[in-house]
Amino acid sequence: MTTSSSPFGRALCAMITPFTEEGALDLDGAQRLAERLTSEGCDGLVLSGTTGESPTTTDAEKSALVAAVREAVGDRASIVAGVGTFDTRHTVELALQAEKAGADGLLVVAPYYSKPPQDAVEAHFREVADSSGLPVMLYDIPGRTGIRIEPDTVIRLAEHPRIVAVKDCSYDFLGAQKVLSRTELAYYAGCDEHNLALYAVGATGYISTVSNVVPHQLRSVLDAFDAGDTTEAARRQQRATPLIELMMSAGLPGTVTAKALLGAVGLPAGPVRAPLRPADRETADGLLAAYEEFTAAG
């Protein structure tokens, strides 16, 4: 499932966090969804990330989610736990809890809101990486955090023995290639429209929101590329583009669209937590129509 160059696998899902209709954590639903994702091609699951609504789940819920999913998938998929916050001390606490709960790695987002300078960002990641025995994946998503993990900072952090990977939502394709050319970090596309483009220049794989609903189809893009059929890989990526656009670039967070679509096809999801609001009926119907058209094509 994993190698030294792909420590968490290639096809990872940024899994939603299922809730009951009353808004409580739905661990049974999480286990059923995790089992489906694993059986349909995901070799890693990222829990409590952006798509997993980490800002509105408690520390106890995060730990319970890791433990429940670990029980469901065993060693068939890696589990990367989102532990990043704007507070270094709290992030360290979450890292230790995730390790105890059975995670294989840590997803650590840039410390948001306070806008620390790059030397402080670097120190933050080093302290978190030093705090547990788990490998760390840096999460660069400046559209949400307000700051970059600049490529030069990533290159310096790559020297740390437990900082092994990057999830890239920076939309900086040149910066990504700079890191790829100068480090041995496992590099993951964090935006579904970049899955194939980054893979083609040496990335390890992807961490996908859209794979919550079409895990097998997205993995097939990488499989085609690995088989040497780059034309087929491009065709499969292009065929997924309408669904990717509706889920990720139509004005709603991916969490909202993923949960709407999962609910529409009878899979565990439940509501989103405030301040997010559910997709309206027109949006949900449009998502379902795009999903049905995509999956009908094989």
Give the separation between CA 46 and CA 103, rounded to whole angstroms: 10
CA dihedral 99, 163, 54, 31 (to 10 degrees): -50
109 in Cβ contact with 147 (< 8 Å): no
What is the rounded CA–CA span in Å between residue 268 and residue 19?
8
**167 is an active site residue:** yes
Residues 270, 40, 266, CA angle at the centre, nearest 5°?
A: 30
Q: Which residue out of 139, 188, 206, 291 is catalytically annotated?
A: 139
Q: What is the CA radius of gyration of the chain?
A: 18
Specify whether the CB–CB gap between 29 and 270 falls below 8 A.
Answer: yes
In sequence order, the 6+-apart residues with CB closer than 8 A to the CB of 38 are 45, 73, 76, 77
Marked catalytic residue, from 167, 187, 259, 291? 167
Full DSSP string of 113-156: SS---HHHHHHHHHHHHHHSSS-EEEEE-HHHHSS---HHHHHH
Pair 156, 184: CB distance under 8 Å: no
Instruction: Identify the sign of the CA torsion 125, 127, 130, 133.
Output: negative
Non-local CB neighbours of 131 within 8 Å, separated by 6+ positions: 92, 95, 96
Please confirm, yes or no, whether 139 is among the known catalytic residues. Answer: yes
Active site residue ranges: 139, 167
